[in-house]
């Protein structure tokens, strides 16, 4: 099984799935400036789509040497965690997704 790119410091905990996530405290500032940049907004849109509509109906293109399932599991653990504020989770989700995937699109958009 391929491993995703080296995780950033806040992401290291998400290698462990389950109740241990509740005990983790985020001690780094989320990439809020990046999340509001032109590039970041593309990935924040993905985070919002997944949070409000679920992950069905999207297509993710993984970067080289990234295990897409492991990366996706990490992102889902982040979105499901209770510790950070919602906008911080969204910013971290977007940043990490941009590191692990080269692009995303709705499957309906891919067909047109």
pLDDT at 27: 57
pLDDT at 79: 87
Evaluate whether 42 touches 82 at the Cβ level (below 8 Å): no
Q: Answer whether residue 98 is part of any domain.
A: yes
Q: Answer whether residue 26 is part of any domain.
A: no
**Overall number of domains in the chain:** 1
The per-residue pLDDT of the chain, averaged, comes to 76
What distance in Å separates the CA atoms of residue 76 and residue 6, rounded to the nearest whole number? 17
- Of 65, 109, 101, nearest to 93 by C-alpha is 101
Task: Give the helix/strand (H/E) hosting 88.
Answer: helix 86-100
Q: Answer whether residue 50 is part of any domain.
A: yes
Domain containing 83 equals 31-111
Q: Which of 3-7, 29-33, 69-73 has the lowest mean pLDDT?
A: 3-7
Higher pLDDT, 94 or 56: 94
Has residue 110 got a pLDDT over 80? no
Has residue 25 got a pLDDT over 70? no
Q: Answer whether residue 62 is part of any domain.
A: yes
Q: Answer whether residue 76 is part of any domain.
A: yes
């Amino acid at each position: 099984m391929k491993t995703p790119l080296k995780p950033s410091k806040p992401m290291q905990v998400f290698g462990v799935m389950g109740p241990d996530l509740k005990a983790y405290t985020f001690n780094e500032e989320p990439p809020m400036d990046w999340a509001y940049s032109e590039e970041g907004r593309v990935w924040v849109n993905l985070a919002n789509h997944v949070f409000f509509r679920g992950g069905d109906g999207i297509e993710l293109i993984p970067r080289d040497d990234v295990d897409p399932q492991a990366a996706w599991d990490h992102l889902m653990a982040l979105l499901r965690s209770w510790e950070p504020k919602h906008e911080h989770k969204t910013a971290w989700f977007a940043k990490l997704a941009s590191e692990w995937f080269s692009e995303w699109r709705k499957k309906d958009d891919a067909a047109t």
